[in-house]
Amino acid sequence: MSQKLYFKIGEIANRFNVNPSLIRYWEQEFQIIKPKKSAKGTRLYTQKDIDHFEIIYHLVKEKGMTIKGVQEYMSKRNDEESIDKLQVINTLKRTKTLLQEVKELIQSKNN
């Protein structure tokens, strides 16, 4: 998902493997997710909205925080700090995946 200015709810739902209803729910719970709406009412999310959704997704789904806990966390953190942490987390995840692939490749060549 790069170079696009706006993303539809279905694209975001597919990216995170969640239902669109979860995205709409989190949009209500977290004021930092602010999609624009087309003339037909289609939600159009920016990359910044996706970044915010990714932070919330990480805290709720991967860390197990409650909605209220994430709301409190987000109110105490500035936007840039959260996005910087998210970038580090994503880099670590990609590195882990790469290392796992290398390990599997090495193991398959040894067998």
- Domain contains 36: yes
Q: How confident is the model at residue 83 (pLDDT cuts 50, 70, 90)?
A: low
pLDDT digits (tens, 9 = 90+) for 51-81: 889 889 988 998 899 999 998 888 777 656 6
Per the structure, the count of domains in the chain is 1
Give per-residue pLDDT as tens, 90-109. Answer: 778 878 888 998 888 888 88
Alpha-carbon distance values, 11 to 6, 46, 65, 108 (Å) = 10, 12, 25, 35
Q: Is the pLDDT score of 2 beyond 70?
A: no
pLDDT at 45: 94
With vertex at residue 100, the alpha carbon angle to CA 97 and CA 102, rounded to the nearest 5 degrees, is: 110
* CATH number of the structural domain spanning residue 57: 1.10.1660.10
Residue 82: what pLDDT?
65
CA-to-CA dists, residue 6 to 40, 44, 46, angstroms: 15, 5, 5
Residue 92 is part of which domain span? 7-110
**Does residue 104 lie within any of the structural domains?**
yes
